[in-house]
Amino acid sequence: MVSAQSIDELCINTIRTLCIDAVQQANSGHPGTPMAMAPVVYTLWQDFLRFDPADPIWPNRDRFVLSAGHASTLLYSLLHLTGVTSVDEKYERLGTPSVALDDLKHFRQLGSKCPGHPEYHLTSGVETTTGPLGQGVANSVGMAIAADWLAKHFNQPGFTVFDYDVFALCGDGCMMEGVSSEAASLAGHLRLGNLCWIYDSNHITIEGNTALAFSEDVAARFLGYGWQVLRVSDANDRERIADAIADAKRTNDRPTLIIVESHIGYGAPHKQDTSAAHGEPLGEDEVKAAKRRYGWPENAKFLVPEGVYEHFAANFGARGKKSHEEWNALFERYRTQHPGLADQCERMQRRDLPEGWDRDIPVFPADPRGIASRDSSARVLNALAPRLPWLIGGAADLAPSTKTRLTFSEAGDFEADDRAGRNFHFGIREHAMGSICNGLSVSKLRAYGSGFLIFSDYMKAPIRLSALMELPVVYVFTHDSIGVGEDGPTHQPVEQLVGLRSIPGLIVIRPADANEVAEAWRVALGHKHQPVCLILSRQNLPTFDRQRYAAASGVARGAYVMADSGDGRTPEVILIGTGSEVAICVEVYEKLTAEGVRARVVSMPSWELFEQQDGDYRAAVLPSSVTRRVAVEQASVLGWDRYAGTEGTIIGMKTFGASAPLKDLLNKFGFTPEHVYAAAKEQLARKE
């Protein structure tokens, strides 16, 4: 039997022992942080967090982010003990437990709802995927921004529809990662009073004590960012923890960092090393020692004593249910008085789009001089945004270059003194921008972030997580090739396209002209569960005559026959291009056609969309019988053999670029009609 304990102590020790048992049974995981921080998170959830277990996607719930994702059992145990229920991919409440006790028993096993790190979509109640350290706290900044924007957009006199708070639990590793510094700096600048980070300062990382590599004054750093900083000297002091959280909730003019001092693996008196925190179970002897210290039956496994479920239900559950019911009643009155805003709110939660959202997308007339795809994108974006009120975003200090500023009169800037704006200034913080966009997206806003394609390298982690979480973030990358000219190889993307294309679930679109840009935006915003990268040019691209060439709507299928012989016969040679190189292919096509050659131009803006098409369509665009092919793209040749074939010619980049005027670079690297024409003639001369 469990020794006599207060009900609060009993609940805390239940969390601890469930975490210990899950890790021990899996023979893998991180028990130390859950053991140490159980009192802190228990206090937050039981006494403060506004969350209805029966509806874990209630729009006005408080958010809890476990940025220290290695401590996942801490979150799983709470989801189980509080009775959080499941929601499916259609946002339907299932009534089944999000985490059953049996799920905890299968921690880290194949198919389990309790994977090694919390995964968004997989386990209801997990607000965001937190594996790479620092991502969770950076996501939380996006969530806090979203809360303020939603409040400004939807709240009306007498109707507080949105006023939720965002809490994140982080550790020393999160504090060391640069993305957390970027995000914290922006949060302080924006004075996000609804944001609280709880920092578990246990001075332990995988290699040992943090003194090996980390000696800065974190409190001073965050004071410099403009945060309120509070300290709790003992993670077991629930009264002081509660005072600090209450202070954070009262503070509306700046975010709060609560620094909590803890000892890793508290409760395992002989196991005070890094193994308890980072990847090793305690071992059976230490498990028993810890349980004895908690007054627990040492041989009991996955024990939930009588009264624990009921105590969580009477506090956390009852408070959340009451708040949710009051909100539902409020929203029904709101729907009557503000039907348009209510409709927007409900569509947004389902990731649906407004009626007629794409009605004003422009059609661009043929123009041989053309327009840079970043400029045509700006026109499309500003035609779309007024009809999609929750489309918001910005750039990492590059909006004048990426052309992603919303310029219509109602757009405005999101700033500390104005939460209504839809233009965001992320500053030179590409990594945090991507992570914040993910935080905006899990809050159901349609977010976009922009920069130069070369700087997608700084954003690889959040872009990857967008795809992993199936978030429809739009990433707008301009300056897409060696076309940036004199800026040189440091700014000329070569391997970035293939790197992005390698991310499962990410759609990459490199449009060839203004009308392909328009269709690319239509495709991007039409996806509910896939992120999209739009790859745009700085230099002008001719706008093709769509009476002569195929309609740009072919973008939706990833690749399409843009120009053909017109006689229905199989082409002799196929020219494949993306972006600015399609114009070269078209010019060579016209020359070959004049010579009587049956040539075909395939515009292939998106490998991913093309691979989603059925085999018949793909074979019709690229018949296997035609092996004479030339593929042209100002990027790495890696992967193009899939479409050029083993005998085709690939004109691409095999080195870094160079600093020179654009014309000189195109000549040097072979991106000219003359070079592509010569390659086509060589293919035609080859015997099939």
> How many domains are there within the chain?
3
Q: Residue 337 domain-assigned?
A: no
Residues 531 and 562 in one domain: no
Residues 182 and 237 in one domain: yes
pLDDT of the residue at 282:
87
CB 542 within 8 A of CB 369: yes
At residue 265, does pLDDT exceed 60?
no
At residue 474, does pLDDT exceed 70?
yes
From 127, 182, 280, 430, active-site residue: 430
Written as six digits, the tokens of 56 are 């874990």
Q: Which of 585, 613, 457 is nearest to 513 (CA)?
A: 585
pLDDT of the residue at 1:
64
Torsion of CA 91, 95, 101, 103, to 10 degrees: -30
- Output the CA–CA distances (angstroms, integers) from residue 293 to 24, 81, 375, 485, in the order listed: 17, 22, 66, 67
Q: Residue 478 domain-assigned?
A: yes
Q: Residue 345 domain-assigned?
A: no
Q: Residue 485 domain-assigned?
A: yes
Written as six digits, the tokens of 73 are 């059992």
Residues 452 and 561 in one domain: no
CA atoms within 13 A on the CB side of 656: 10
Burial of 283 (0-12, 13-18, 19+ CB in 10 A): middle
- Distance, in Å, from the CA atom of 602 to the CA atom of 550, rounded to the nearest integer, reads 10
CA atoms within 13 A on the CB side of 522: 21
pLDDT, tens digit, 9 for 90 and up, residues 391-447 = 999 999 999 999 999 999 999 999 999 999 999 999 999 999 999 999 999 999 999
pLDDT, tens digit, 9 for 90 and up, residues 342-373 = 999 999 999 999 999 999 999 999 999 999 99
Q: What is the mean pLDDT of residues 47-58?
A: 98
| Residues of the domain holding 458 | 367-541
Q: Which of 202, 580, 207 is nearest to 374 (CA)?
A: 580
* pTM listed for this prediction: 0.96
The three-state (H, E, C) secondary structure of 335-371, written as one string = HHHCHHHHHHHHHHHHCCCCCCCCCCCCCCCCEEEEE
Helix (H) or strand (E) holding 375: helix 373-384
CB 654 within 8 A of CB 598: no
Q: Residue 338 domain-assigned?
A: no
Residues 483 and 578 in one domain: no
Burial of 46 (0-12, 13-18, 19+ CB in 10 A): buried
Binning pLDDT at 50, 70 and 90, where does residue 274 land? very low
pLDDT of the residue at 270:
34
State which of 482, 510, 541 marks the end of a domain: 541
Residues 298 and 434 in one domain: no
What is the amino acid identity at position 207?
Answer: E
State which of 479, 508, 541 marks the end of a domain: 541
Q: Residue 346 domain-assigned?
A: no
Residues 499 and 587 in one domain: no
CB 200 within 8 A of CB 170: yes
State which of 291, 322, 353 marks the end of a domain: 322
High-pLDDT (> 90) share of the chain, %: 90
- Distance, in Å, from the CA atom of 370 to the CA atom of 574, rounded to the nearest integer, reads 24
Torsion of CA 281, 287, 289, 291, to 10 degrees: 130
Residues 530 and 578 in one domain: no
> Residue 413: which CATH number?
3.40.50.970
Binning pLDDT at 50, 70 and 90, where does residue 516 land? very high
DSSP for residue 418: B
Partners of 560 in the β-ladder: 603
- Distance, in Å, from the CA atom of 334 to the CA atom of 346, rounded to the nearest integer, reads 12
Q: What is the mean pLDDT of residues 311-327?
A: 98
pLDDT, tens digit, 9 for 90 and up, residues 175-200 = 999 999 999 999 999 999 999 999 99
Residues 415 and 525 in one domain: yes
Residues 474 and 563 in one domain: no
Residues 535 and 618 in one domain: no
* 430 in active site: yes
pLDDT of the residue at 279:
53
Q: Residue 328 domain-assigned?
A: no
CB 67 within 8 A of CB 169: yes
Q: Residue 362 domain-assigned?
A: no
Q: Which of 208, 361, 221 is nearest to 199 (CA)?
A: 221
Residues 387 and 508 in one domain: yes
Angle in degrees, CA 181, 163, 318, rounded to 5: 110
Residues 390 and 476 in one domain: yes
What b/e sequence results for 234-271 when a residue is b if at least 16 CB atoms lie within 10 Å of its CB, and e otherwise? ebbbbebbbebbeebbebeebbbbbbbbbbbbbbbeeb
Written as six digits, the tokens of 171 are 């550790």
Binning pLDDT at 50, 70 and 90, where does residue 522 land? very high
Angle in degrees, CA 406, 409, 410, rounded to 5: 85
SS3 673: helix
